[in-house]
Chain A
């Protein structure tokens, strides 16, 4: 059974860098058509997609965060990671990782989040 687990510091100082890892068990990150993504939730902004990454390190990010976000995949450890720089209190929230399953229609893939990690709370203070 596929499971995802977030890990990383729960407290980050303002102007610092938030770094999280999502460890995948029950399936291999590589060799599939799935994307792997990060989503966050805060009282002020609700649920917000941060970015998605493919096993070959290609991906795309929310334009509102793009200048501060990077993501990477480590296939040897079967995990993927998020880095968010120059954090402020507005980056406080619960961070989830997820697998993005896909549909194929008229030459394009469309991805939806079907399996989520339990989430980890990050406070910027």
Chain B
């Protein structure tokens, strides 16, 4: 299985700041990376796929970049609703695998 290493596991920041989350794959996944946002008690919500394509309806303050094994999710101008947990996930090869998650804290 491809291992996804996500960092940091938690980050303290403030409304209006920007934050970058990193995800590393144990082997190349080309650009087959998705990013999800998860609120407590809810299902993950797709934010970005194909490493940098914004899902319809997702605010433009979310952006993704990277290829091969190194990827980032950047959130600019953090809003109060953004302080939840984020996951990366590769879908290049099955079984698709997720990172351990990054929790954003105020």
Residues on A facing B (Cβ under 8 Å): 46-49, 52, 60, 62-64, 96, 101, 103, 110-119
> Is the CB–CB distance between A110 and B45 below 8 Å?
no
Distance from A83 Cβ to chain B, minimum over Cβ atoms (Å): 18
Once bound together, how far apart are the Cα atoms of A114 and B35, in whole Å? 11
The 5 closest A-B pairs by CB, nearest first: A116-B43, A47-B98, A62-B95, A49-B96, A112-B49
Distance from A105 Cβ to chain B, minimum over Cβ atoms (Å): 9
Residues on B facing A (Cβ under 8 Å): 32, 34, 42-46, 49-50, 55, 87, 89, 91-92, 94-98, 100-101
B interface majority secondary structure: loop
User: Can you list 16 A-B contacts with CB-CB less than 8 angstroms, sorted by A residue number?
Assistant: A47-B101, A48-B98, A49-B94, A49-B95, A49-B96, A49-B97, A60-B94, A63-B95, A64-B95, A96-B43, A110-B32, A110-B91, A111-B91, A116-B44, A118-B42, A119-B42
Specify which chain A residues have a CB less than 8 angstroms from the CB of B95 in the assembled complex: 49, 62-64
Specify which chain B residues have a CB less than 8 angstroms from the CB of A96 in the assembled complex: 43-44
Specify which chain A residues have a CB less than 8 angstroms from the CB of B92 in the assembled complex: 110
> Is the CB–CB distance between A47 and B44 below 8 Å?
yes
Once bound together, how far apart are the Cα atoms of A89 and B73, in whole Å? 34
Task: Select which of B43, B45, B94 is within 8 A of A117 by beta carbon.
Answer: B43
Distance from A7 Cβ to chain B, minimum over Cβ atoms (Å): 15
